[in-house]
Amino acid sequence: MCWIFAYKGGKNPVPLLIHGLEKLEYRGYDSAGLFVMDTNNWLELYIRSTGKVSQLISKLEWAGESIKQWIGIAHSRRATHGGIKEVNTHPHHDINKRYYVVHNGVIEDYHKLKTELEKNWYQFYSETDTEVIAALLDMYKSDDFLKTVEIVINKLVGAFWLVIIDTKYPDTLIGFRR
């Protein structure tokens, strides 16, 4: 089982998200990552690592505490699509790094969706089903974050949980469960 944590608020998000990941470590996972940004869009942090949360922590270089408002997402992964590699670790993003996604579960129609996107010259960097979600967000990007998410979700088959960030709207997190 894998886990998602999301945070929006005025505290330093990194220790909070790391603490969340650590609390559920005993349940088993193979890699972990996080993405945070401040709502003024000045600072971003994107780190991922295979192995334990302690390995993720060893990659941290962070001096963002004085900023007042943040959003962030974190994930510990148990691989279903794609090997245990850093490139397959969540959060995933689209090619333009506008949308960041963490995802638990499986997108059953990912192969069909991925083939269609590749026919439209979309280039994938990972082997995951999750990256298909990020690619679809890019394909249907608009100025209406919620509408874009709704369009994309209607294309996905399966049981899953998602939390999505649109870096154009850094005061908002969208979560979804089916």
Task: Give the interface segment with ligand GLU, choosing from 38-46, 71-79, 137-145, 170-178 (CB under 6 A).
Answer: 71-79
Going by the DSSP 8-state scheme, the letter that residue 122 receives in this structure is -
Contact criterion met (CB below 8 Å) for 89 and 50: yes
Structure tokens, 172: 């908002």
User: Is 87 a residue that touches ligand GLU (CB under 6 A)?
Assistant: no
**Residue 10 Cβ vs ligand GLU, minimum distance, rounded to whole Å:** 29
Q: What is the largest CA-CA distance in the chain?
A: 45
Binding map of ligand GLU across residues 113-152, x = CB under 6 A, - = no contact: ---------------xxx----------------------
Q: Are 39 and 170 in contact (CB under 8 A)?
A: yes
The helix or strand, by DSSP H or E, that contains position 103, with its residue range, turns out to be strand 99-105
Q: Does 106 bind ligand GLU (CB under 6 A)?
A: yes
Q: Which of 16, 24, 67, 79 binds ligand GLU (CB under 6 A)?
A: 79
CA distances from 77 to 3, 24, 149, 161 (A): 7, 12, 22, 13
Choice between 70 and 149, CB closer to ligand GLU = 149
Q: Which is nearer to ligand GLU, 77 or 93 (CB)?
A: 77
* Chain residues in the site for ligand GLU (CB under 6 A): 2, 77-82, 88, 103-106, 128-130
